[in-house]
Amino acid sequence: MKVAVGSDHAGFELKQKVKEYLAETGIEVEDVGTVSTESVDYPDFAEKVALEVREGRADRGILMCGTGVGVCIAANKLHGIRAALVSDPEIARLSREHNDANVLCLPGRFIEPAAARAVVKTWLETPFAGGRHERRVEKIARLEREESAR
């Protein structure tokens, strides 16, 4: 599995911890930036991660900013991306099982590294359940197609 990771300055330190965890588990990582705690704009990194996932260069993506909200909103603007803001392993599991989330967003300023590790572990290990949930995910895709046609 290959995971694209990105963050703004507020998520940088957590991104480094997440990368360490991914490396420990043998997961290939594509770090799209940022490279420091110097102020940057989160939409730039959300777009980079989302494109890596959408174009198939990464299987999944993980984004971090101060609250996780900004990167989640930005990533969800790209067709085919189902980004979920998660700070709890149970929500991580459900975001994968029910929503087939392909981008995980973490709140860099509001989650401890150990808790983030548990969320990432659960999120990466949980498969999409399909079944009735597949119908719902397809309805999301239909909304994207219809919006593009307007």
Closest CA to 128 of 97, 92, 103: 97
Q: Which residues pair with 60 in a beta bridge?
A: 3
CB atoms within 10 A of CB 54: 17
72 is catalytic: no
Exactly one of 9, 65, 72, 105 is catalytic; name it: 65
Q: What is the spatial distance between Cα 113 and Cα 12, in angstroms, rounded to a whole number?
A: 12
Closest CA to 2 of 34, 24, 25, 30: 30
98 is catalytic: yes
Exactly one of 9, 72, 98, 105 is catalytic; name it: 98
Compute, in degrees rounded to 10, the torsion defined by CA atoms 111, 66, 63, 117.
Answer: -10
Closest CA to 64 of 18, 105, 95, 23: 105
Closest CA to 66 of 17, 18, 23, 7: 7
Q: Active-site positions?
A: 65, 98
